[in-house]
Amino acid sequence: MSKNIRYITQANGTLTGTLRVPGDKSISHRSIMLGSLAEGETKVSGFLNGEDCLATLNAFRSMGVKITEHDATSLTITGVGLHGLKPAEHDLDMGNSGTSMRLMSGLMSGQSFDVTLTGDRSLSTRPMARVILPLTQMNADISGDEGDTPPLTIKGSTQLKSIHYDLPVASAQVKSAVLLAGLYAKGETSVTEPAPTRDHTERMLRGFGYDVITEGSTMRLSGKGQLTGQMIDVPADISSAAFFMVAASIIPHADITLQHVGVNPTRTGVIDILTLMGANIRLENEREIGGEPVADIRIQSAALKGIDIPENLVPLAIDEFPVIFIAAACAKGMTTLTGAEELRVKESDRIQVMADGLVTCGIDAKSTQDGIIIQGGTLTGGEVDSHGDHRIAMSFVIAGQVAQESIVINDCANVNTSFPNFVDSASGVGLKLKIMD
Ligand code: S3P
């Protein structure tokens, strides 16, 4: 159990200069997975050395993959090929990481050995039926605890069979679990998604030389191919950049440029939502690096207004809602979110935990079954609980910059899952926060 790290913010934060936030979490996970299963070497730069991605890295190391870390963010993976993993001597600990658990459940279903995937207290409550169901249809022998929660036990499979799967939820993790299992299945595996979700798995498989076809909302691949080692330059994570987009919007006279941010169109919902709210956001120096669009993003403060968030943007901004709610708290008028029940099964129940924290800080916020209604107002300050959720903790740091009094945030250790050195990075560009003694 990690110790209770608490942050305390001070009002009157500033925000100027340039910042490159850490590497994209989704791409970093996939670089380890695909690099490990490729033929030859994969060199990764800009890797996110947060605890979530390190859980994935350690899992592959314990299955016999050589991964050499040159410095905190660059590494070389010596791929063992799709059939070269060895059984680990112990269970594989996925920590706090839903992405590791769900994507690995697909990959592990194709192995010839047994494996158990475990997680921390939060991950052990998260729904896994969504992967157990399609993988079982593919012939995988996979089972969870009561209620289909982790740990997941996967028995060495004889032969996976290919399926077509209509995703009941718009989830990139479930899409990826099925496609990754499809690498080991005989014939063509396909997935249709109800709404666009992040497409890093498809893009990166293609980068590794694997044929993946996207036709509208359906993705297909055939099993038994081969992955070829790659050079991967991981862009900065738009989900981490989002904290500074909102901070720059609400802090008077702020002007910040976030460098080298991944702006894959399946991830940019936060830019669209903040722009609808009146934010001043400009993409500069747009380019494509390793199959992913990248840009520098300049944000200057602006008067925000409340909006009804379009439901089609929900999957495209799914990780950014905690900090979007802070923007809504600082906006003039009411913001309404609907169609976002998925937020209730993230690292915490992000609808309820954010509503509770906002109310503590003097904002009129009401949770609904599938969203939230926030009336913009004045943040007073107070003591909030992040429930061990990294994105909730960082969101209240942003709120604290414009609150009348300090905000004390409990249970912040998991910020390290996605944003190592957050306190130093944020302080370096003018935000006011400290780790409490
Ligand atoms: C992710 C997909 C999303 C997102 C998560 C990362 C991925 O989850 O919330 O942080 O890397 O595929 P869902 O697929 O559950 O929406």
Distance 93 CA to ligand 1 centre (A): 18
* Ligand 1 pocket member 9 (CB < 6 A): no
End-to-end CA, the chain:
19
- If you average pLDDT over residues 356-375, what whole number do you get? 98
Q: Annotated active-site positions, please?
A: 319
Distance 230 CA to ligand 1 centre (A): 23
pLDDT for 2 beyond 80: no
CA distance 364 to 318: 22
Contact 283, 297 (CB under 8 A): yes
Pairing of strands 66-71, 74-80: antiparallel
Question: Which overall architecture, per CATH, does domain 6-23+235-436 show?
Answer: Alpha-beta prism (3.65)
CA atoms within 13 A on the CB side of 7: 33
Cis amide linkage into residue 151, ω under 30° from 0: yes
CA-closest residue to ligand 1 atom 16: 171
Question: Could you tell which of 31, 96, 318 is best to mutate to test the pocket of ligand 1, judged by most ligand atoms within 8 Å of the CB?
Answer: 318
Structure tokens at 36: 């490990």
- If you average pLDDT over residues 128-156, what whole number do you get? 97
* Ligand 1 pocket member 183 (CB < 6 A): no
Counting beta carbons within 10 angstroms of the beta carbon of residue 338, is it exposed (0 to 12), middle (13 to 18) or buried (19 or more)? middle
Share of the chain above pLDDT 90, in %: 98
* Ligand 1 pocket member 27 (CB < 6 A): no
Distance 37 CA to ligand 1 centre (A): 21
CA-closest residue to ligand 1 atom 10: 319
Residue tagged 């896994």 (tokens): 128
* Ligand 1 pocket member 172 (CB < 6 A): yes
* Ligand 1 pocket member 97 (CB < 6 A): no
Distance 343 CA to ligand 1 centre (A): 11
* Ligand 1 pocket member 189 (CB < 6 A): no
Question: Of 12, 69, 9, nearest to 43 (Cα)?
Answer: 69
Contact 405, 11 (CB under 8 A): yes
Alpha helices in 361-435 (DSSP H): 390-400, 422-428
| Structure confidence by residue, pLDDT tens digits, 184-206 | 999 999 999 999 999 999 999 99
CA distance 386 to 249: 23
> Is the pTM value of this prediction over 0.75?
yes
pLDDT for 3 beyond 70: no
CA-closest residue to ligand 1 atom 9: 319
Contact 9, 397 (CB under 8 A): yes
Confidence of residue 149 (pLDDT cuts 50, 70, 90): very high
- If you average pLDDT over residues 413-417, what whole number do you get? 97
* Ligand 1 pocket member 340 (CB < 6 A): no
pLDDT for 1 beyond 50: no
pLDDT of residue 157: 72
| Structure confidence by residue, pLDDT tens digits, 298-346 | 999 999 999 999 999 999 999 999 999 999 999 999 999 999 999 999 9
Contact 347, 390 (CB under 8 A): yes
CA distance 191 to 206: 16
Counting beta carbons within 10 angstroms of the beta carbon of residue 405, is it exposed (0 to 12), middle (13 to 18) or buried (19 or more)? middle
Long-range contacts (CB closer than 8 Å, 24 or more residues apart) made by 359-367? 360/384, 361/329, 361/396, 361/399, 361/403, 361/407, 363/329, 365/325, 365/329
CA distance 21 to 31: 18
CA-closest residue to ligand 1 atom 13: 171
Counting beta carbons within 10 angstroms of the beta carbon of residue 255, is it exposed (0 to 12), middle (13 to 18) or buried (19 or more)? middle
Question: Of 91, 7, 2, nearest to 393 (Cα)?
Answer: 7
For 25-233, which CATH class? Answer: alpha beta
Residue 433 makes CB contacts below 8 A (sequence gap 6+) with: 7, 8, 9, 10, 13, 397, 400, 423, 426, 427
- Every domain range in the chain assigned CATH 3.65.10.10: 6-23+235-436, 25-233
Contact 122, 96 (CB under 8 A): yes
CA distance 363 to 415: 24
pLDDT for 416 beyond 80: yes
Distance 253 CA to ligand 1 centre (A): 34
Distance 172 CA to ligand 1 centre (A): 6
| Structure confidence by residue, pLDDT tens digits, 65-100 | 999 999 999 999 999 999 999 999 999 999 999 999
Mean pLDDT over all residues of the chain?
97
- If you average pLDDT over residues 254-283, what whole number do you get? 98
Q: How many CB atoms sit inside 10 A of residue 310's CB?
A: 14
Written as one letter, the residue type at 273 is I
Residue tagged 């800009």 (tokens): 46
Contact 271, 38 (CB under 8 A): no
* Ligand 1 pocket member 99 (CB < 6 A): yes
Confidence of residue 158 (pLDDT cuts 50, 70, 90): confident
Residue 133 makes CB contacts below 8 A (sequence gap 6+) with: none
Which secondary structure element, helix H or strand E, spans residue 355, and what is its range?
helix 350-360
DSSP state of 265: T
Counting beta carbons within 10 angstroms of the beta carbon of residue 11, is it exposed (0 to 12), middle (13 to 18) or buried (19 or more)? middle
